[in-house]
């Protein structure tokens, strides 16, 4: 299959005058054209930093320390600012975590949609108008809201407008950083399903970031689990769901109650993730792991290896296999 995005040994984080945080540590992954990749993990595990990092949108003090990002054959680390600006939105777009606040409060929805288009392609006023209506239609928002200001829209509508904007130029990749966190569960699911239908219809790839694993298992093609800035397991969704290999993934899976079936006791994962501003010796999950192997896990950080076909895991439990 054709790889759209190749990320290799990416290290990124935040640089302050007195300390530095490594929020993304040696992350490598590939994303195929049209693929829906879910990235899940606890808050503060580096998911958002990864999302912003792969499209070079980390604002200072955020910074990519090292690694390579190849998008559609182009080395993103090497393109100059102006070419990068031109690639943005046209090649890859992004839906933000706090989508409630990403619309400029003083500009009409119409102007904001126009802006996202007109600086990349030449369109006449009537073409812009047609496209803007088309886009709102796509996300089930009435086109009468084109002349509304952001404060006149509900949270769900703002979210849909932002998704519509992200699709404005038919990008090859849309990154969604917890886009539905602020919405209620029903709206969350509906928007997610709509996004997935649009993906099948328009053929763009999605990197969907969330802390809510249950939201993703049914929809995404593959899932990557992040912990302490690293990807510790990655596999096609159904494989990961059926057979989580990493003890952390197993813990995450059992942190959500099933909707049907007998009542069962839920297990959380004791402890908390390590501080990302310091070096971590051994496996980052070691202090919290129920299956840790003393003398191995606290000494060497396991590498992400393919245990079964397409199923990658970084855990010493599978060293022999």
Partner 1 sequence: MKYILKRIVFFLITLWAAVTINFILPRMMPGNPAEVMIAKFQGRLNPQAISALEIAFGINTHESMLAQYWDYLGRMVTGNFGISVSFYPTTVAQVLAQAVPWTLGLAGISTVIAFILGTLLGIRVSWKRNSISSSFAVPIAFFLNSMPYFWFALIVEYVFAFVFGWFPLGGAYSSSSGLSGLALVWSVLYHAILPAATIIITAMGGWMLTMRNNMISVLSDDYITFAFAQGLPEREIEMNYAARNAILPSFTGFAMAIGFVISGVLLTEIVFSYPGVGYLLYQAVLNIDYPLMQAIFLFITIAVLVANFIADIVYVFLDPRARSGGE
List of residues contacting partner 1 (CB under 8 A): 55, 57, 59, 84-90, 93-94, 96, 98, 101-108, 115-116, 119-120, 149, 151-152, 162, 165
Tokens at residue 164, please? 């519509």
Helices (H) and strands (E) in the chain, counts: 9, 12
Q: From 27, 6, 167, 120, select the one nearest 74 (Cα to Cα).
A: 6
CB of 151 to partner 1, least distance (A): 5
Rg of the chain over all Cα atoms, to the nearest angstrom:
20
Beta bridge partners of 177: 209
Q: From 45, 64, 65, 43, select the one nearest 54 (Cα to Cα).
A: 64
> Which pairs from 254-258 meet CB under 8 Å and 24+ separation?
255/213, 256/213, 256/214
CB of 12 to partner 1, least distance (A): 16
Judged by beta carbon, residue 76 or residue 232, the one nearer partner 1 is 76
Judged by beta carbon, residue 159 or residue 237, the one nearer partner 1 is 159
Strand-pair category, 92-95 with 173-177: parallel
Query: Is residue 82 classed as helix, strand or coil in its secondary structure?
Result: helix
CB of 222 to partner 1, least distance (A): 24
Distance between CA 242 and CA 256 in Å, rounded? 15
Distance between CA 282 and CA 293 in Å, rounded? 11
CB of 229 to partner 1, least distance (A): 21
Judged by beta carbon, residue 118 or residue 190, the one nearer partner 1 is 118
Judged by beta carbon, residue 81 or residue 279, the one nearer partner 1 is 81
Judged by beta carbon, residue 94 or residue 313, the one nearer partner 1 is 94
Judged by beta carbon, residue 50 or residue 213, the one nearer partner 1 is 50
CB of 16 to partner 1, least distance (A): 15
CB of 239 to partner 1, least distance (A): 32
CB 31 within 8 A of CB 71: no
CB of 53 to partner 1, least distance (A): 13
Judged by beta carbon, residue 82 or residue 125, the one nearer partner 1 is 82
CB 20 within 8 A of CB 278: no
Beta bridge partners of 62: 14
Secondary structure element (H or E) that encloses residue 248, with its range: helix 247-253
Judged by beta carbon, residue 57 or residue 74, the one nearer partner 1 is 57
CB of 26 to partner 1, least distance (A): 25
Tokens at residue 43, please? 């808050």
Q: Report cis status (omega within 30 of 0) of the bond before 100.
A: no
Residue 216: which residues within 8 A CB-CB, separation 6 or more?
38, 40, 208, 210, 223, 237
């Amino acid at each position: 299959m054709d790889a759209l995005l190749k990320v290799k040994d990416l290290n990124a984080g935040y640089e302050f005058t007195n300390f530095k945080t490594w929020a993304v540590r040696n992350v490598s992954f590939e994303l195929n054209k049209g693929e829906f990749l879910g990235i899940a993990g606890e808050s503060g595990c580096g998911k958002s930093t990864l999302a912003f990092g792969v499209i070079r949108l980390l604002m200072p003090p955020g910074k990519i320390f090292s690694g390579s990002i190849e998008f559609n054959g182009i080395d993103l680390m090497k393109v100059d600012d102006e070419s990068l600006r031109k690639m943005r939105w046209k090649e890859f777009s992004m839906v933000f975590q706090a989508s409630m606040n990403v619309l400029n409060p003083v500009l009409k929805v119409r102007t904001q949609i126009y802006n996202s288009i007109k600086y990349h392609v030449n369109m006449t006023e009537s073409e812009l108008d047609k496209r803007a209506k088309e886009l709102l239609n796509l996300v089930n928002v009435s086109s009468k809201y084109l002349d509304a200001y952001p404060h006149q829209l509900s949270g769900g509508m703002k979210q849909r407008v932002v998704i519509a904007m992200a699709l404005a130029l038919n990008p090859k990749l849309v990154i969604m950083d917890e886009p539905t966190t602020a919405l209620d569960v029903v709206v969350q699911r509906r928007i997610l399903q709509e996004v997935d239908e649009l993906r099948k219809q328009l053929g763009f790839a999605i990197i969907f970031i969330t802390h809510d694993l249950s939201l993703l298992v049914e929809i995404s093609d593959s899932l990557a689990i992040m912990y302490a800035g690293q990807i510790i397991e990655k596999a096609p969704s159904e494989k990961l769901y059926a057979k989580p290999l990493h003890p952390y993934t197993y813990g995450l899976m059992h942190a959500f109650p099933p909707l049907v079936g007998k009542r069962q006791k839920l297990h959380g994962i004791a402890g908390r993730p390590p501080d990302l501003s310091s070096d971590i010796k051994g496996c980052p999950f070691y202090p919290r792991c129920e299956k840790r192997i003393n003398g191995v896990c606290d000494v060497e950080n396991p590498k992400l290896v393919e245990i079964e076909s397409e199923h990658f895991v970084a855990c010493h439990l599978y060293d022999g296999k």
